[in-house]
Amino acid sequence: MPIFLGPQSIVTPMQLVFVQFMTGLASAASLFLVASGLSIIFGVTRIVNFAHGAFYMLGAYVAYTLTEQLSGAIGFWFALLAAAVIVAALGCLLEMVLLRRIYHAPELFQLLATFGVTLMVEDLVLLIWGPEDLVGPRAPGMSGAVVMFGKYIPTYDLFLIALGPIVLVALWLLFHRTRWGVLVRAATHDRGMVAALGINQKWLFTGVFALGVFLAAIGGALQIPRDAVNHSMDLSIIVEAFVVVVIGGLGSTTGAFLAAILVSELNAFGILVFPKISLVLVFLVMAVVLVVRPWGFFGKPQPPQATAVGNTVRPWRPLNRTELTIAGGVVLVIALLPFVLGNYALTIGSEILIFTLFAASLHLLMTVGGLASFGHAAYFGLGAYGAAFAATAFGMPMVVAILAGPVLAAFGAAIVGWFAVSLSGVYFAMLTLAFAQIVWSIAFQWVDVTGGDNGILGIWPDAFASSPSGFFWMTLAFAVPALALLQMVIFSPFGFALRATRDSELRSESIGIDRKRTQWVAFVVAGAVAGLGGALFAFLKGSVFPDFMSISVSIDGLVMVLLGGIETVLGPIVGAIVFKALSIWLISQTDYSKLVLGLAIIAMVVAFPKGIVGTLADWRAKFDARRARKLAGGVATAAVAATVLGGVVGTATGTLTDAAATDTSHRNVAHRNASHQEIDR
Amino acid sequence: MAAPALAAVAPPATSQLDVVKLNAFYGAAHILFDVDFTVHSGEVVALLGRNGAGKSTTFLSIMGMVARRTGTVWFDADEITALPTYEIARRGLGFVPENRRIFTDLTVEENLLVGRQAPREGAPTWEPERLYELFPNLADMRKRPGGRMSGGEQQMLTIARTLMGNPSLVLLDEPSEGLAPKIVEQMAGAILAMKREGLSILLSEQNLHFARLISDRAVIIEKGRVQFTGTLAELEARPDVRDAYLAV
């Protein structure tokens, strides 16, 4: 049956398929450039550069400005190239100023720091180029179209289709036919060995980073004749690039090439097959690939490694009786707040309580389980939508609806978690992010059910919780048991097993712990608690929107955990309170809150990696050690040193103890990682 | 911690590598305790000790690959303690690590290419063709990826790759480990050939028989401390030392 498509002509289904296929191939070119850059950078530096999407966007904006200035065919192509070179130079600067400081940090810190860069770039782009979408010029000499199978295919699309394989071959030659390329491949395999052979990795890393950023920027610059330059380019491309890299295999350019074509074609045809929820196709294919080949088409299974996000020097312990009494007192004081605070403060108070749930649930996964989820907002959002459906579509009473939230969230977490726990480290982070983005786009696109961008409105609490103080008390009544439950889980046999899987996959499995199952259960529990937070949030706001599960909410959660202290038990609660209060204040103070927040994240990662509670605990340990030394002289010192790692330390000196108790730098974290590896060998 | 005033005195000129009061730590664990020894120019010294005695850590410390250490390392009369690893290697200290660490995705030729450095005065100069003569097995597999080679072939490739840097002194970490007897013999032959070229060699071994074939002197290390230093003949005269610190 012929389909009428615009005024141009009558199209047969075959022609439509052909046109979509060519569109998909053309889109694949830029996606391949970005994903291969991401892959190359990761291969050598082991950094998943979240800012890669930002560089793609910058490439497009700078190219737009340059094409405005330069005219003619030579001017146009020169402008694209110059834009990529300029952005690559910015990338070099970023590498030298920021990344060199955090190469030894846990990967979570690296992801967060580069996300901070993304936030800053978003606001800087807004400052420099303004909020409007910008339409660039057509490519000179390629503004026309070529007739193929009776259809017009834009010449520029054909150019892009040809460019992909050319770049693939060029990269292959670079990596196999030049010494620099061979060094890069060697460093991808074993950085330490390359250094031992007399190669200064510093410049190798910088060079690789520049190459990767160049590829991203040229990918962005090449988009300007096709699409308007806009502010959401960065996040949409980075999510697609993550999907491509997960499917193609991290570190493989050929894998990135094939996966980019696959994903672009799925997008192109998804619009035909499921016009409402086109991203579901990508989701299904990614799920299948992960089941069949967890490391992607061309990736290699990585050997099991210690995936600890941080490195706990002081063993965790549950609160003792005195501390429990103090905690009870604190809860009592919080419960009395409605008698002192006004309505606005109480509403903010409820919001903060809700986010302590969110942060604490992420903490279970991230710190206890060693699985840094970059898409935890999905379960927060599912909880909110679950409560909203229950309340509006099924007319359930509020308390039942609030409990329906965690059920939907746990259901979603069970599905995603089942796939996600077969991966770890950065793969896990990228996969959870991609899944969260898919859940977000379902909420956004499936207008009939979710209301799309307009959300679901009119979710009002019952009478007893309709006043700010009533709602605050109700939130507290849900939050305190849930937080207590999480603490109990951490110190239960299940929590110990979870920590064992975090610290050593091999050793935990060899004593009979089912790693995947343990982590999967943790994923579901964390999802359910986040969902409880989301359900409460829905009633607090009276509405739900897709934004509840946006990337920025996921990142907020990570920052809360980090701010509180990644190696601590109570950190997320403190972190959530401080972060939420600060960010609400910040948004009221400046239009460029992303710029400030991005800068704050970077500063925290570089200068303050242990967070509030971690730093306080350090001070306390130092204070205790000093007092112990005063009391018992050298004997106590040696004892403290011995408890730190339970090791060899016969002749530990005072200096050694100090160093062990106060080391806050990433360098020392790296030492401990190194010693882990040494022992594993 | 370090005692720079003491360490500032340069060692005698005949020695090529001087390790002075070397201490190393992994986190809070103290691994090496005041390790002292010297390698003279053109000499083969065996660093002997049991598994876990600290041999590999000594090598990694010399190469600057252990992040926290104190003491001093002198090489060719320069202090190299604080230099970055790549700079230490560029001064002519070649390192052949334990468990090989070849680049498995790279071919034999490419592995050698990674090791290439400019020729050095006072050290033998190596080209791939000369290395294929030293290790004839490698000559037949130039295009083969390192991951598809036997353990012995990988060990030879590791040594060849380090020699491509034209070092004047080579640190060999357990070169005979896990190799078939016949390959061990070849390895001993290759090491002696390297010595004839004028290379100084410091090798670590658990296997006294192998060390005896090629070494001039021995340093015995146990629990991170040096327990014995002397010629191989002196060690032969001390069965008590041998029995106490070496698994024979």
For residue A523, is it within any domain?
yes
More confident residue, A612 or A177: A177
The partner residue sitting opposite A641, judged by closest CB among B28, B31, B95, is: B28
For residue B2, is it within any domain?
no
- Is pLDDT at A409 greater than 90 in this prediction? yes
CATH of the domain at B31: 3.40.50.300
For residue B231, is it within any domain?
yes
Is there a single domain that holds both residue A226 and residue A340? Answer: no
Q: Which residue has the tokens 């060692």?
A: B11
For residue A305, is it within any domain?
no
Inspect the interface and report whether the beta carbons of A189 and B25 lie closer than 8 Å. Answer: no
Lowest mean pLDDT: which of A115-124, A234-243, A377-386, B221-230?
A234-243
The partner residue sitting opposite A189, judged by closest CB among B87, B105, B116, is: B105
pLDDT of res. A426: 75
Q: How do the residues of chain A divide into helix, strand and coil, expressed in percent and rounded to 5?
A: 75, 5, 20
Q: How many CB atoms lie within 10 A of CB B159?
A: 23
Lowest mean pLDDT: which of A57-71, A563-577, A625-639, B226-240?
A625-639
Q: What does the alpha-carbon distance between residue A640 and residue A654 come to, in Å, rounded to a whole number?
A: 10
The partner residue sitting opposite B86, judged by closest CB among A185, A198, A671, is: A198
B104 neighbourhood in chain A, CB within 8 Å: 189
pLDDT of res. A303: 54
The DSSP bridge pattern shows strands B44-48 and B200-205 to be: parallel
- Is pLDDT at A488 greater than 80 in this prediction? yes
Which CA distances in Å does B107 have to A182, B76, B85? 10, 33, 24
A302 neighbourhood in chain B, CB within 8 Å: none
Structurally, chain A folds into a number of domains equal to 3
- pLDDT band of residue A106 (cuts 50, 70, 90) is confident
Is there a single domain that holds both residue A544 and residue A470? Answer: yes
More confident residue, A256 or A152: A256
Cβ neighbours for B4, distance < 8 A, ≥ 6 positions apart: none
**Phi and psi at residue B48, in whole multiples of 5°?**
-105, 150
Is there a single domain that holds both residue A276 and residue A221? Answer: yes
pLDDT of res. B2: 42
Inspect the interface and report whether the beta carbons of B114 and A197 lie closer than 8 Å. Answer: yes
Write out residues 621-680 of A within 8 Å (CB-CB) of B. Answer: 641, 644-645, 647-652, 655-656, 659-660, 667-668, 670-672, 674-675, 678
Q: Which residues pair with B45 in a beta bridge?
A: B202, B217
For residue B6, is it within any domain?
no
A196 neighbourhood in chain B, CB within 8 Å: 63, 65, 85-86, 89, 95, 97
pLDDT of res. A665: 38
Inspect the interface and report whether the beta carbons of B114 and A194 lie closer than 8 Å. Answer: yes
Closest CA to A121 of A149, A143, A75, A90: A90
Q: What does the alpha-carbon distance between residue B25 and residue B66 come to, in Å, rounded to a whole number?
A: 8
Is there a single domain that holds both residue A530 and residue A649? Answer: no
Is there a single domain that holds both residue A254 and residue A326? Answer: no
Q: What does the alpha-carbon distance between residue A681 and residue A660 come to, in Å, rounded to a whole number?
A: 24
For residue A668, is it within any domain?
no
H or E stretch including A10? strand A9-11
Are A461 and A338 contacting, i.e. CB atoms less than 8 angstroms apart?
no
Q: What does the alpha-carbon distance between residue A30 and residue A23 come to, in Å, rounded to a whole number?
A: 12
Inspect the interface and report whether the beta carbons of B106 and A186 lie closer than 8 Å. Answer: yes
Strands (E), chain B: 15-26, 29-40, 44-48, 68-75, 78-79, 93-96, 169-173, 200-205, 217-222, 225-231
Tell me the residue range of the domain where A15 lies: 3-292
- pLDDT band of residue A73 (cuts 50, 70, 90) is confident
Inspect the interface and report whether the beta carbons of B114 and A200 lie closer than 8 Å. Answer: no
For residue B1, is it within any domain?
no
B33 neighbourhood in chain A, CB within 8 Å: 651
Is there a single domain that holds both residue A212 and residue A107? Answer: yes
Instruction: Give one DSSP letter per residue of A19-66, joined into a string.
Output: HHHHHHHHHHHHHHHHHHHHHHHHHHH----TTHHHHHHHHHHHHHHH
Inspect the interface and report whether the beta carbons of B26 and A674 lie closer than 8 Å. Answer: yes
pLDDT tens for A269-285 read: 888 777 666 667 777 78
Residues in chain B: 248
- pLDDT band of residue A532 (cuts 50, 70, 90) is very high
- pLDDT band of residue A642 (cuts 50, 70, 90) is very low
Q: Can you give the pLDDT of all 248 residues of chain B as single tens digits?
A: 444 444 444 445 578 999 999 999 987 889 999 999 999 999 999 999 988 899 999 999 999 998 888 999 999 989 999 999 999 999 999 999 988 889 998 999 999 999 999 999 889 999 999 999 999 999 999 999 999 999 999 999 999 999 999 999 999 999 988 888 889 999 999 999 999 999 999 999 988 888 888 999 999 999 999 999 999 889 988 888 888 888 65
pLDDT of res. A505: 81
Nearest CA in chain A to B89: A198
pLDDT of res. A540: 93
What would the mean pLDDT of A365-369 be, rounded to a whole number? 88
Q: Which residue has the tokens 């060990």?
A: B155
For residue A49, is it within any domain?
yes
Inspect the interface and report whether the beta carbons of B116 and A668 lie closer than 8 Å. Answer: no
Mean pLDDT rounded to a whole number for chain A: 83
What would the mean pLDDT of A213-232 be, rounded to a whole number? 93
What would the mean pLDDT of A149-178 be, rounded to a whole number? 92
Tell me the residue range of the domain where B175 lies: 11-245
Is there a single domain that holds both residue A277 and residue A343? Answer: no
Which CA distances in Å does A319 have to A334, A551, A577, A612? 19, 34, 20, 18
The DSSP bridge pattern shows strands B15-26 and B29-40 to be: antiparallel
**Which residues in B98-119 are b (16+ Cβ under 10 Å) and which e?**
bebbbbbbbbbebbbbbbbbee
Complex confidence, ipTM = 0.90
The DSSP bridge pattern shows strands A9-11 and A145-148 to be: unpaired
The partner residue sitting opposite A675, judged by closest CB among B29, B115, B162, is: B29
More confident residue, A168 or A572: A168
For residue A600, is it within any domain?
no
Helix axes A611-632, A634-645, angle to 10 degrees: 140
Q: What does the DSSP 8-state code read for residue A554?
A: H
For residue B5, is it within any domain?
no
CA–CA min distance B162, chain A (Å): 7
Q: What does the alpha-carbon distance between residue A230 and residue A535 come to, in Å, rounded to a whole number?
A: 33
A186 neighbourhood in chain B, CB within 8 Å: 103, 106, 110-111, 114
Residues of B with a Cβ under 8 Å from any A Cβ are: 1, 25-31, 33, 63, 65-68, 84-87, 89-90, 95, 97, 99, 101, 103-106, 110-111, 113-117, 161-162, 165
**Phi and psi at residue A346, in whole multiples of 5°?**
-70, -35
What would the mean pLDDT of A383-406 be, rounded to a whole number? 91
Structurally, chain B folds into a number of domains equal to 1
Helical segments of A542-592, H only: 551-564, 571-589
The partner residue sitting opposite A649, judged by closest CB among B30, B84, B165, is: B30
Is there a single domain that holds both residue A170 and residue A218? Answer: yes
B30 neighbourhood in chain A, CB within 8 Å: 647-652, 656
Chosen for mutation from A44, A179, A189 (greatest number of chain B CBs closer than 10 Å) is A189
pLDDT of res. A319: 81
Residue B70 DSSP SS3: strand
Instruction: Give one DSSP letter per residue of A183-203, joined into a string.
Output: HHHHHHH-HHHHHHTT--HHH
Chosen for mutation from B85, B142, B168 (greatest number of chain A CBs closer than 10 Å) is B85
The DSSP bridge pattern shows strands B44-48 and B217-222 to be: parallel
pLDDT of res. A102: 87
pLDDT of res. A626: 80
Closest CA to A98 of A476, A581, A602, A570: A602
The DSSP bridge pattern shows strands B93-96 and B169-173 to be: parallel
pLDDT tens for B58-102 read: 999 999 998 888 999 999 989 999 999 999 999 999 999 988 889
The partner residue sitting opposite B28, judged by closest CB among A182, A651, A656, is: A656
Cβ neighbours for A11, distance < 8 A, ≥ 6 positions apart: A2, A3, A4, A5, A19, A151
- Is pLDDT at A640 greater than 50 in this prediction? no
Inspect the interface and report whether the beta carbons of B27 and A675 lie closer than 8 Å. Answer: yes
A193 neighbourhood in chain B, CB within 8 Å: 97, 101, 103
pLDDT of res. A313: 55
pLDDT of res. B8: 42
A641 neighbourhood in chain B, CB within 8 Å: 28
Inspect the interface and report whether the beta carbons of B27 and A670 lie closer than 8 Å. Answer: no
Map A219-274 to HEC letters.
Answer: HHHCCCCCCCECCCHHHHHHHHHHHHHHHHCCCCHHHHHHHHHHHHHHHHHHHHHC
Map B139-154 to HEC letters.
Answer: HCCCCCEHHHCCHHHH
What token pair was written down for A240?
């697609």
pLDDT of res. A609: 76
Is there a single domain that holds both residue A286 and residue A375? Answer: no
pLDDT of res. A65: 94
Does residue A101 belong to the interface with chain B, where contact is any CB pair within 8 Å? no
For residue A485, is it within any domain?
yes
- pLDDT band of residue A633 (cuts 50, 70, 90) is low
Quote the percentage of chain A above a pLDDT of 70. 88
Q: What does the alpha-carbon distance between residue A434 and residue A238 come to, in Å, rounded to a whole number?
A: 9
Chosen for mutation from A193, A203, A311, A671 (greatest number of chain B CBs closer than 10 Å) is A193
For residue A308, is it within any domain?
no
> How far from chain centre, in Å, is Cα B192?
14
pLDDT tens for A298-321 read: 877 665 554 444 455 566 777 888
For residue B235, is it within any domain?
yes
Inspect the interface and report whether the beta carbons of B99 and A681 lie closer than 8 Å. Answer: yes
Inspect the interface and report whether the beta carbons of A645 and B28 lie closer than 8 Å. Answer: yes
For residue A599, is it within any domain?
no
Inspect the interface and report whether the beta carbons of B103 and A195 lie closer than 8 Å. Answer: no
Lowest mean pLDDT: which of A25-34, A138-147, A398-407?
A138-147
Which CA distances in Å does B24 have to A558, B18, B28, B72, B73? 35, 16, 10, 11, 12
> How far from chain centre, in Å, is Cα A464?
38
More confident residue, A72 or A262: A262
What token pair was written down for A653?
């000196």
Closest CA to A665 of B66, B27, B65: B27
Inspect the interface and report whether the beta carbons of A189 and B90 lie closer than 8 Å. Answer: no
pLDDT of res. A435: 86
For residue B201, is it within any domain?
yes
For residue B67, is it within any domain?
yes
- Is pLDDT at A671 greater than 70 in this prediction? no
pLDDT of res. A388: 93
CA–CA min distance A361, chain B (Å): 31
The half-sphere exposure of A562 on its side-chain side, counting CA atoms within 13 A, is 27
Inspect the interface and report whether the beta carbons of A183 and B114 lie closer than 8 Å. Answer: yes
Inspect the interface and report whether the beta carbons of A193 and B103 lie closer than 8 Å. Answer: yes
**Phi and psi at residue A648, in whole multiples of 5°?**
-35, -10
Inspect the interface and report whether the beta carbons of A201 and B165 lie closer than 8 Å. Answer: no
For the entire predicted model, the pTM comes to: 0.81
The partner residue sitting opposite A199, judged by closest CB among B67, B86, B103, is: B86
CATH of the domain at A166: 1.10.3470
B162 neighbourhood in chain A, CB within 8 Å: 197
- pLDDT band of residue A582 (cuts 50, 70, 90) is confident
Cβ neighbours for A557, distance < 8 A, ≥ 6 positions apart: A355, A358, A359, A362, A376, A377, A380
What token pair was written down for B206?
């658990």
